[in-house]
Amino acid sequence: MISDDLEELYKLLRGSRSANAVLDARALIQENKAVLAFAKLVDARESYMESRSRLLKQVPEEQFKGTSKEDVRNRKVLLRKQEKTHEILKAFEEVMPLVERVAKREEAAAAAEAVSVTVDEIEDEDDEPELVVSPADPSIDDDDAPADDEAVDEPDAPIPSRLATSADITQRFVEAFNDHDDDGQLDLVNDEFGFREVNSDDDIYPSAVYLIRLNEKNFLVRTALTAASDRTIELESVTDERVIKPFSREDFFALGKRHRMVLLTKSLIVEDSSSFDDDDDDENGEQHVLDMAAFGQLLTAAQRSGLVSGADQIGHVRDREFRMEKYDLAYQAIDAIFSRFTADASQRAQQLVREDNDISAGRLKISPKDLQAKRIRDRMQTQEVERARRRFQVVLEGLRVLGSGVS
């Protein structure tokens, strides 16, 4: 059982700062609050990895080179600490996918319940055929209200994400990845994952998933459990049986510096559990249920686009005007942010066109490899911008319908 696995993990962590978070996650699992439990577990793992990063990078034979009894004892102590750290990280890797699966099922059930409540309200009130369920609607009991708000972070918090693991690579994703060409593979990865640039040696994590471009081909690889301390980085393909040659630590880091590699992340907001995905938004032109989750998705998309400097204002609008049913004021505030976003997106597009013209005319010198890397980054960022644009349109249309209904 997951509860027993978490208890064993707590015993391994006892005395560490992360132990209490694991204990909290176990209690939340027992209360059927898997989404919150998974968030606690992610925080615990990230905190533990940060606290042990320096320890794992130490080499006992180099740290204590002497032959005295004290040096021999210190080498053994350091080696035992590293072995325990590896054991704890392995325990995290085993239990986290189990908790995440339960969290996704919980999110999907909450979304289905929210849709059911909305349909019942529409059938009961014929005079309001376009009724939109508001989180402040007093006619809905607390127990029946959508639970999406629990999964939305506070507006001042950073984008809720974690390092991607091999458990996030589903068989369906692998089949789609292998069936696409290079550009299609990049689009597929961008739709499913976030990414973080590899800027320093500290960005080399154990059991993490990286997207690497080698010999004009894309590879999704996983690092070994001991990658944080290994001098040679062993890699394993997570999409096929191809053998990936190991890299020295310096060469592996150099891939990131040349923008040939990124570290994949996974959002903690499970967007695919919503009954209203991006395709529905594009087809229908509006989101029929505008709830707290829609603002959370907009906030995440705006932050990931990199073009909304005041993205936290979206959270403030959600917590003030939207909660108080002041839909006209909420519409004006979001529309003002959207206008600035549109202007910045237009400037970015013009800048990309100028750069392409300069490269074509030879005014801007860039190697073929760097040009390919630039185009990959630009394409992925453009997709984030378009995703944010769609989210803005969904929220604005919902607020417009709500405002017209109130008036």
Q: In Å, what is the CA distance from 77 to each residue of 18, 56, 81, 176?
A: 22, 13, 6, 47
Token match 């692998």: residue? 174
pLDDT at 150 over 50: no
What does the pLDDT read at residue 405?
Answer: 65
The pLDDT of residue 113: 55
Among 154-163, 280-289, 314-323, the least confident range: 280-289
Tell me: the pLDDT tens digits for 6-31? 888 988 888 788 888 888 888 888 88
Angle at 403 between CA 398 and CA 407, to 5 degrees: 150
Domains of the chain: 2-110 (no CATH), 143-157+273-407 (no CATH), 161-267 (3.90.70)
Whether pLDDT at 154 is above 80? no
> What is the mean pLDDT of the segment spanning 157-180?
78
Q: What is the mean pLDDT of the chain?
A: 76
8 and 42 in contact (C-beta within 8 Å)? no
Neighbour count for residue 294 (Cβ, 10 Å)? 23
The one-letter amino acid at 12: L
Cα separations in angstroms, 173 against 157, 176, 196, 211, 247: 30, 5, 20, 14, 26
First vs last Cα of the chain: how many Å apart? 53
pLDDT band with cut points at 50, 70 and 90 for residue 158? very low
**pLDDT for residue 135:** 42
Question: Which residues are CB-contacts of 64 (< 8 A; sequence separation ≥ 6)?
Answer: 71, 72, 74, 75, 78
Average pLDDT over residues 91-109: 81
Rounded to an integer, what distance in angstroms lies between the CA atom of residue 390 and that of residue 41? Answer: 31
Strand ranges in 64-200 using DSSP code E only, listed in sequence order: 161-163, 194-197
Indicate the helix (H) or strand (E) that contains 124. Answer: helix 69-124
Nearest 10 degrees: Cα torsion 112, 189, 269, 225: 120
Cβ contacts of 243-250, under 8 Å, gap ≥ 24: 244/219, 249/201, 249/204
Task: Tell whether the model's pLDDT for residue 285 goes beyond 70.
Answer: no
What is this structure's pTM?
0.34
Q: Considering only CA atoms, which of 394, 398, 358, 386 is closest in space to residue 374?
A: 358
Contact 289, 118 (CB under 8 A): yes
Range 344-368 average pLDDT? 85
- How far CA 286 is from CA of 29, 88, 164, in Å, comes to 35, 46, 32
C-alpha–C-alpha distance, residues 39 and 25, integer Å:
8
Contact in structure between 148 and 114 (CB atoms under 8 Å): yes
- Determine the average pLDDT of the residues in 41-49: 84
| H-state helical runs in 146-288 | 171-179, 182-192, 249-257, 278-284
Taking alpha carbons only, the member of 43, 47, 23, 41 closest to residue 96 is: 41
The pLDDT of residue 110: 66
Taking residues 117-133, report their average pLDDT.
42
Give the C-alpha separation, 33 to 105, whole Å. Answer: 11
Residues whose CB is less than 8 angstroms from the CB of residue 156 and which lie 6 or more positions away in sequence, other chains included: 312, 315
Rounded mean pLDDT of 70-89? Answer: 87
Q: What is the mean pLDDT of residues 134-163?
A: 48
| 136 has a pLDDT exceeding 60 | no
pLDDT category, 211, cuts 50, 70, 90? Answer: very high
- The percent of residues above 70 in pLDDT, for the chain, comes to 79
pLDDT bin (cut points 50, 70, 90) of residue 213 is confident
For 93, 157, 297, the CA distances from 36, given in Å and listed in that order, are 18, 16, 17
